[in-house]
Chain A
Amino acid sequence: MKGTYLGEFEEVVLLSVAIRSGDAYGAAVTTEIERQMGRSVNLGAVHSALHRLEEKGLVSSKLGGVTQERGGRRKRLYSVTVAGRRALEEIRQLRNQMWDSIPNTAWS
């Protein structure tokens, strides 16, 4: 399934959008990733990943209204679509399945 293949960074971004659901925009997602992973991320990389996810139909976006924050500049709010959620679940299931298949003797 070429179209819905998720790269590692894309997966992280998608998870962050889910974590900040309702308030997921470029800067918020960036800080979330930095907080969770403890490493610095480029804003450009995040935006480009968000655009790619949107093209794949895993997130949807709408332009938010004008607020008092950040000098009245509008932000684009992202939310995980049904397809996005399914993709995340599939990855998790695959991981679990693989964890479960590890024989006990492997760690000794």
Chain B
Amino acid sequence: MNMKPSPPRWAKRFLHLFCPAYLVEEMEGDLEELFEQRIRLIGARKARLRYVRDVLSLVRPSLRKQKPLEHPSPFLFRPAMLLNYFKIAFRTLLKNKVYSVINIAGLATGMAVALLIGLWIWDEVSFDTYHPNRDRLAYVMATQTYNGETGTYNSIVVPLEKELRSLYPADFKRLSMLWASTNVLAVGEKKIAQPGIWAQPDFPEMLTLKMLKGSREAFNDPSSVLLSESVAAALFGDDDPINQVVKVDNKTNMKIVGVYQDLPPNTTFRDVRFVLPWHNIANWWNTQDKDWRNHGCSLLVQVSDRVDMSQLSAKIKDIVLPHIKEIEYTSLNPMARWHLYSNFRTGRVDGGRIQFVWLFGIIGVFVLLLACINFMNLSTARSEKRAKEVGIRKAVGSMHSQLIGQFLSESVVVAFVSLAFTLLLVLATLPFFNRLADKAINIPWTNPVFWLLTISFTLFTGFISGSYPAFYLSSFKPIKVLKGVMRAGRFASLPRKVMVVVQFTVSITLIIGTIIVYRQIQYAKNRPVGYSREGLITIAMNTPELNSHYNELRAALVESGAAVEMTESNSPPTQIWSNNSGFSWKGKDPTTDPLFGTIAVTHDFGKTVGWKIVAGRDFSRDFTTDSSAFILNEAAVKLAGFADPVGKVMRWNGRDHVVTGVVKDMVMDSPFQPTVPTIFLVDYGWLNMIIVRANPALSIRDALDKMEPVFKKFNPGSPFEYKFTDDEYARKFSDEERIGNLATFFAIFAIFISCLGLFGLASFVAEQRTKEIGVRKVLGASVFNVWGLLSRDFVVLVIISCLIAVPFAWYFMNSWLKQYDYRSDMAWWIFAASGLGALLITLLTVSYQAIRAALVNPVKSLRTE
């Protein structure tokens, strides 16, 4: 029998490969028909050739792109379909109330933390943007090296201003010397003490103060003053303050020429409540314009519009060198960097608050990630429940992309529901957060940028947290799922486990960090201070009346019974306002010029603060030579290298001073740093502060009530303003405590979110294994067995997290602690306690579900309908 000639097979295969599926049948039919005809007309060989030609001609773009009209492409985001997605999403949410609550609560807290951190970062980054000239303003900085340490400060010498004005007139548009001080303002009987600033006429223009009354230009007059809105209201109420006279520090009358809007809290000059004229005889610094060594006030400059700030900074580097012997460099520090990059090390910028911006930014991202992980975990864990839905949807004709769209829209719905709760939560916690972070942040309800960011951030969160479940669920094979053989593989739960580990690693790291921060604070707080702070009160001497009545005032205070002792000094006990070099003594290395803290005191200082003499004796009125005596602290003795300090002679400012005593180190500066080498000397002409030891027999309130009339008598021009030394000392810890509090705040949220996720997962696992537990119980397992069975998996995960978190935390906290010279160690028990704590929390969370599952009567769980 003759074989029927057939077309070449490869050509057929080629057609199947390249022709769209819906066309293949029709084309094949046509090809075959023509082939049959052609065999008869032109023979088999030629027919085959024509067949191949036809196949090739069919593979053309115009035939590839067309789609069958019978199956119109489904438009993914058709409104009807979208509405249906949302409807299904809400139904699913309502059906599984526990999961929905866990999901929404977790996501809402995560987003709330992220939002709070976002607001905080925004506040930090937008610091000083209130001033339109921010990018052109800068402080002139002085970099000096003493005792081998280089310091960079905005504290400069007064003649620098005239020098810059005359040498570089084209580079600087405006300059203003500044000296911040607290002054007493009096109008009639009304007196208030407020922080203000002495400044030159350009200052209001540089900061672009928003004038509510009067004008910035009127400040040219050296007897004019600008008031902030709040001070004007305090002094004048509703009356017009313009051209009224205010008495400053009870001695100088000045004319009010303008009222400006209070500077907002996120500006450097937020505390400036009034601006006083620099060129006024009442400004002591204005008399120092020939002294090239007295650093104390700052110089704000506005760089000309087309001048490059860093080039100008390099240009003025050596400007003070011709006038002084010491090495000192001058540079510019732009306003945009003041707040976030405030630390200097060896003359260069070395971080600052920007580190916290990064740190908290990272924490925020992590907390949000934890919340997203929860969502993913719960959704994938519950995938088996929804597998049938996916199977049916696919069988009815849903496409892969439609299912992805459905699950994504579900998570976006959850994200937006969470957003509503997030905003409520942020609104509720913002006052607390503001107190914690020392901020005045508001939710910018009316800012379109805020809404744009918030909504895109919510969409993003929804997409991120919905992406994994969406792709995972939509990839189920309908036949398998509907047959019920859908069995997750051995590794199906692996991503879920990894996510739990990530969550707990973050949480445990935060716990360890928090403990270490608090321990460091406590360690520094327990540091021996060297004097007694309780009942110590300081009063600033800002009027001439207080300066001249030392003995009378002291006698009157002691006599009133309010105080047991009183002294005066040039710095409050919690600060060292003055540092000096230029000391020499026998045996000193002539190549060095060490810097000592210099504190001028009266004879009664030691008795008042309660210092401890370790060698020699205290200052005494019995020795007239004590007017040139020194008392050193132990750190100063060490710096000077005295083996037997008492009786040694130190030369300073052309005079010989005898060391009469040594006191135990007192923590007057930072409690985290080594004690500053300090010299105490008696000088009744160099005093700024009154220090009073309140009578311990009286309550502090009663003592203050008795003191007030005494001060009123000697200083009638000023209100009685005082500070408690222990409060001032506590303030030294405020930065560290703030970090600790914020870290606790975030750690609690992170743990809460992790536990929420764990709770959901545990309940899911318990539910899934109901039958297994029933069988085990029937076979004799105890509640404890079942509990162990269900908890074991989670405990293993948490232990893994511990192992990862410990080295992480150790590394980060080690570098944090390094910035403190006086620091606590990182004891092993911190890590152990954090791990155990996390384990305990895990067990508590899981046990609720485990025990509930274990207590179920097997009859109920094994019954099948």
Point out residues on A near B: beta carbons under 8 Å.
Answer: 25-27, 30-31, 40, 42-45, 47-48, 51-52, 63, 69-71, 73-76
Docked complex Cα distance between A70 and B37 (Å): 12
Contacts A31-B34, A31-B37, A73-B32; A51 near B66 (Cβ below 8 A): yes
Most chain B CB atoms below 10 A, which of A43, A71, A75:
A43
B813 at the interface (CB under 8 A from A): no
Residue of A nearest to B62 (CB): A48
Q: Which residues of B contact A75 (CB under 8 A)?
A: 26, 29-30
Q: Which residues 20-46 of B sit at the A interface, judged by CB distance below 8 A?
A: 25-34, 37
What is the minimal beta-carbon distance from A72 to any residue of chain B, in angstroms?
Answer: 9
Q: How far is the CB of B19 from chain A (nearest CB, A)?
A: 10
Say how far A15's CB is from chain B's closest CB, in angstroms: 19
A31-B34, A31-B37, A42-B57 known; A73 vs B63 contact (CB < 8 Å): no
A27 B33 Cβ-Cβ under 8 A: yes
Residues of chain B contacted by A26 (CB below 8 angstroms): 26-27, 30
Residues of A within 8 A of B669 (CB): none
Q: Which of A47, A52, A74 contacts B58 (CB 8 A)?
A: A47
- Which residues of chain B come closer than 8 Å to A51, judged between CB atoms? 62-63, 66
Interface residues of B (CB under 8 A from A): 25-34, 37, 50, 53-54, 56-60, 62-63, 66, 70
Contact check, B32 vs A70: say whether CB atoms are below 8 A apart. yes
Task: List the A side residues contacting B58 at CB < 8 Å.
Answer: 43-44, 47
**Is B62 a contact partner of A27 (Cβ separation < 8 A)?**
no
Find chain A residues with CB under 8 A from B63 CB.
44, 47-48, 51
Knowing A31-B37, A42-B54, A43-B54, say if A48 contacts B60 (CB, 8 Å). Answer: yes
Q: When chains A and B are docked, how far (Å) is the Cα of A73 from the Cα of B32? A: 10
Q: Is B34 a contact of A30 with CB atoms below 8 Å?
A: yes
- Alpha-carbon distance A51/B66, docked complex (angstroms): 8
B25, A73: Cβ atoms under 8 Å? yes
Contact residues in A for B59 (Cβ distance below 8 Å): 44
Residues from chain B with Cβ under 8 Å of A63 in the complex: 26, 70
Q: Which of A40, A43, A45, A48 is within 8 Å of B30, CB to CB?
A: A43
Residues in A neighbouring B54, C-beta threshold 8 A = 42-44
Indicate if the CB atoms of B29 and A74 lie closer than 8 Å. Answer: yes
Chain A nearest CB, measured from B413 CB (Å): 41
**Cβ–Cβ contact A27 & B53, under 8 A:** no
28 A-B residue pairings within 8 Å (CB atoms): A25-B26, A26-B26, A26-B30, A27-B31, A27-B34, A30-B30, A30-B34, A42-B53, A42-B54, A43-B34, A43-B57, A44-B56, A44-B60, A44-B63, A47-B30, A47-B58, A47-B63, A48-B60, A51-B66, A63-B26, A69-B33, A70-B32, A70-B33, A73-B26, A74-B26, A74-B29, A75-B26, A76-B26
Q: Which of B29, B53, B58 lies at the interface centre, i.e. has the most chain A CB atoms within 10 A of its CB?
A: B29
**B residues less than 8 Å from A73 (CB atoms):** 25-26, 28-29, 32
Q: Which residues of B contact A44 (CB under 8 A)?
A: 54, 56-60, 63
Contact at B34–A45, with CB atoms within 8 Å? Answer: no
- A70-B50 contact given A27-B34, A42-B57, A47-B63, CB 8 Å threshold: no
Residues on the A chain within 8 Å of B25, using CB: 73-74
- A76 nearest in chain B by CB position: B26
How long is the Cα–Cα vector from A51 to B63 in the complex, in angstroms? 8
Given contacts A25-B30, A47-B63, 12 further A-B contacts (CB under 8 A): A27-B37, A40-B50, A44-B56, A44-B59, A48-B60, A51-B66, A63-B26, A70-B29, A73-B28, A74-B26, A74-B29, A75-B26
CB distance from B29 to the nearest CB of A (A): 3
Within 8 Å CB of B53, what residues of A?
A: 42
- B57 to A, closest residue via Cβ: A44
Chain A residues whose C-beta falls within 8 Å of the C-beta of B62 in the assembled complex: 48, 51-52
* Interchain nearest-CB distance for A66 vs B (Å): 10
- Most A-side CB within 10 Å, residue of B53, B54, B58: B54
The complex places the Cα of A44 from the Cα of B56 at a distance, in Å, of: 8
**Given A70-B32, A74-B25, A75-B29, A45-B57 contact (CB < 8 Å):** yes
* Contact assessment for A47 and B34 in the assembled complex, using a CB-CB cutoff below 8 Å: no
Give A71 to B27 CA distance when docked, in angstroms. 12
> Given the complex of chains A and B, what is the CA–CA distance between A63 and B34 in angstroms?
19
* Distance between Cα atoms of A36 and B392 in the complex (Å): 54
In the assembled complex, the Cα of A42 lies from the Cα of B58 at a distance in Å of 8
CB distance from B642 to the nearest CB of A (A): 104
Question: In whole Å, how far is B37's beta carbon from the nearest beta carbon of chain A?
Answer: 6
The minimal Cβ–Cβ distance linking A100 to chain B, given in whole angstroms, is 37
Chain B residues with Cβ below 8 Å from A76 are 26
Write the chain B residue with the least CB distance to A72: B29
Across the interface, which residues of B come within 8 angstroms of A74, CB to CB? 25-26, 29
Report the separation of the CA atoms of residues A31 and B42 in the bound assembly, to the nearest whole angstrom: 13
User: Which of B29, B34, B50, B56 is close to A71, meaning CB atoms less than 8 Å apart?
Assistant: B29
Which residues of B sit under 8 angstroms from A25, Cβ to Cβ?
A: 26, 30
Q: Which residues of chain A are near B60, meaning CB under 8 Å?
A: 44, 48
Provide the bound-state CA to CA distance between A76 and B33, in Å. 14
Taking CB atoms, residues of chain A closer than 8 Å to B26 are 25-26, 63, 73-76
A26 to B31, alpha carbons, bound, how many Å? Answer: 9
Please measure, in the bound complex, the distance between the C-alpha atom of A40 and the C-alpha atom of B50, giving whole angstroms.
Answer: 9
Q: How far is the CA of A40 from the CA of B66 in the complex (A)?
A: 26
What residue of chain B has the Cβ atom nearest to residue A26's Cβ? B30
B30 contacts A27, C-beta separation under 8 Å = yes
- The chain A residue with its CB closest to the CB of B32 is A70
